[in-house]
Amino acid sequence: MSGMELQLKLNELGWLTPIIFLTGHGDIEMAVQAMKLGAYGFLSKPFKDQVLLDEVAAAARFAQQIKDNLQRKQAAEEILARLSPRETQVANLLARGQSNRLIAQQLDISEKTVHIHRQNIMEKAAISSAAELAHLMLKADPNSLD
């Protein structure tokens, strides 16, 4: 199995650890292909030890960023999972900046009911504003407010 085939297989498996290709026969086309497949780096031999160490250190920092982002995403998803289906509907509209009145009209409920849902959302999510709610929703799903 070639390095490119391994990269494809790891992609299929959802592998998130950064991969650095090391090759003795690399060219620009191969490097571009590896990067398109998701490789973090591509080094052609010979290279200095420090170059490899620097590349591994950068890849490790990148891996930590991925891990941190996933943890924030999972935490946000867990918070939003506590909401009832109706609270989720209200939250989506609040995060888009809609007023209680507009939300009430869209969902065919009273403004008072929207206000109660809004309070429940803020309490369950431990937040105090629609802006914080939007931020939380974007952490859980960057496309949620499209």
- Summarize the confidence of residues 89-108 as an average pLDDT: 96
What residue ranges define each of the domains in the chain, with the CATH number in brackets?
1-49 (3.40.50.2300), 77-140 (1.10.10.10)
C-alpha distances in angstroms, 82 versus 12, 89, 112, 119, 124?
A: 31, 13, 21, 14, 7
11-26 pLDDT, tens per residue? Answer: 999 988 999 999 998 8
24-76 pLDDT, tens per residue? Answer: 988 899 999 999 999 999 999 999 999 999 999 999 999 999 999 999 999 99
